Homo-oligomer: A and B are copies of this chain.
Amino acid sequence: MPAAIGEHHLYPAADLRSFAARAFQAVGVPADQADTIAKLMTDIDLRGADGHGIFRLPQYIRRIRAGGINVSPNIRVVRETAAAALVDGDNCVGHLAVEKAARLAIDKAETSGVAWVGTRNSNHAGAASVYAMMALERDMIGIYSAVGSANHLPPWGGVDMLLSTNPIAVAIPAREEPAVVLDMATTVAAFGKIKTAALRGESIPEGWMIDRDGNPLTDPTRAEEGFLLPIGGYKGYGLAMVLGLLAGTLNGAALGRDVVDFNKDDATATNTGQFVLAIDVKVFADVDTFKRDVDRIVREMRSSERLPGIDRIRVPGEGSAATFVERSRDGIPIPPDLLRVLQSLAEDLAVPGLG
């Protein structure tokens, strides 16, 4: 048995990665692609975005088995210029399409300075931050956005759920400080937080959701009767909409009524769209000077005088950077419920489980 914190067993990332890769191979994903997906999922867990890593494995496998994802995709660049491209994922596991888009954006930015690559016929790809962060290895800034895989947000003033929590991630390299990594949904709370509160029997704060009469909804077990609120009211609605047009509509991918709820429908192709933008720092600045400047700004923020009762000021990305260090050393905590689900998946697929 692995180490444990409380009831959570701790697994080394390598064990989760090889398990996820076995599971994908068992349903027909070629070994190299299975490993790419498994690595990205494990990176997500290492950074603490637990709702988007190995937690999603059973759903991805179920979707593949239901025919909702193509395990022999022809992922190809269908349009291309010096600084832009469009990748058609051929209904692949989303991680593969976005990983290809991110690599292509980074390579193109190396010669053009900046590059933007969109995807279509992709699928849910996990946490936004991992794709934005791929640019950091090359001293680039990465920006990623996506059309979320289920609509939980109406237009401002409306009740028809036509938008998702369309996230945006921005990763900016620093020198001694952790990279600045913003990874946010355009709603006050992500839908996963509502589900977690419901599982724990907790109520949710006013301001996260309203019901169809416009009243605050604080009982998360009633989530289906209401919808999420966007950040800043009409501003967050506008942001979700323009990100959806950029990540979805521009690429010929789904937005609005065309979005398939991937939690409720395993079989219909989602035609998910995403984009990755890479910006090569050295075009604009001396790289070392820029990183020192980012360090300085990070430290200015952190050393601000604080409001009463606030113990420290955080900078986007520092929490997940600390989690990465801790989990790389100690392992990734897997809650008992999830462990049971993963072990049952292993039996079902007749592959070795987590042990």
Q: Given A83-B82, A162-B304: A214 and B113 within 8 A (CB)?
A: no
Q: How far apart sit A305 and B112, CA to CA, in the bound complex (Å)?
A: 45
Tell me if A170 and B242 are in contact (CB < 8 A).
Answer: yes
| Chain B residue contacts of A279, Cβ below 8 A | 84, 116, 246, 250
Secondary structure of the A contact surface, majority rule: mixed
A160 at the A/B interface (Cβ < 8 Å)?
yes
Question: Which positions 308-340 of chain A face chain B at CB distance < 8 Å?
Answer: 308-310, 312-316
Q: Does any Cβ of B come within 8 Å of A220's Cβ?
A: no
Q: Nearest Cβ distance between residue A149 and chain B, in whole angstroms?
A: 17
B172 and A245 within 8 A (CB): yes
* Cα separation A79 to B290 with both chains bound (whole Å): 15
Q: Mark A290-310, 1 if CB is under 8 A from B, else 0.
A: 100110110011101111111
Q: Please tell me if the beta carbons of B306 and A158 are within 8 angstroms of each other in the complex.
A: yes
Minimal beta-carbon separation of A11 from chain B (angstroms): 30
| A252 lies within 8 A of chain B by Cβ | yes
Please determine whether B231 and A304 come into contact, CB atoms closer than 8 angstroms: no
By a CB distance below 8 angstroms, the chain B residues around A260 are: none
Cβ of A84 and Cβ of B283 under 8 Å apart? yes
Assess whether A159 is interfacial by the CB under 8 Å rule. Answer: yes
Which of A24-32, A38-46, A60-68, A233-241 is found at the contact surface with chain B? A233-241
Report the bound CA distance from A251 to B275 in whole Å: 24
How many identical subunits does the complex contain? 2
Instruction: Please tell me if the beta carbons of A307 and B82 are within 8 angstroms of each other in the complex.
Output: no
Which residue of B83, B115, B172, B232 contacts A188 across the interface (Cβ within 8 Å)? B232
Which of B285, B305, B309 meets A250, CB within 8 Å? B285
List B contacts of A244 (CB < 8 A). Answer: 297
Contact with B along A260-288 (1 / 0, CB 8 A): 00000000000000000101110111000
Count of chain A residues near B, Cβ 8 A: 80
**Known A160-B304, A249-B294, A290-B250: A309·B214 in contact at CB below 8 Å:** yes
A178 located at the interface, meaning its Cβ lies under 8 Å from any Cβ of chain B in the complex: no
Cβ-defined contact, B241 with A236, below 8 A: no
Query: Which of B155, B249, B308, B310 contacts A290 (CB under 8 A)?
Result: B249
A52 to B165, CA, bound (A): 31
Mark out the residues of chain A between 141 and 173 whose CB falls within 8 Å of any chain B CB in the assembled complex. Answer: 141, 154-160, 162, 170, 172
Q: Which residue of chain B is the closest to A161 with respect to CB atoms?
A: B304
Q: Are A111 and B82 in contact (CB under 8 A)?
A: yes
A141 cross-chain contacts in B, Cβ below 8 A? 246, 250
**Does A184 count as interface, using CB distance less than 8 angstroms?**
yes
Chain B residues near A312: list those with CB within 8 A: 157
A287 to chain B minimum Cβ distance, whole angstroms, is: 11
A249 and B157 within 8 A (CB): no
Beta-carbon contact of B304 and A158 below 8 Å: yes
In the complex, what distance in Å separates the CA atom of A216 from the CA atom of B245? Answer: 36
> What are 25 A-B residue pairs whose CB atoms fall within 8 Å in the complex?
A79-B283, A82-B82, A83-B113, A84-B284, A85-B113, A155-B313, A155-B315, A156-B313, A158-B306, A158-B310, A158-B313, A160-B305, A170-B242, A170-B246, A180-B245, A184-B235, A184-B238, A234-B314, A238-B316, A241-B297, A245-B294, A246-B279, A250-B279, A252-B285, A256-B301
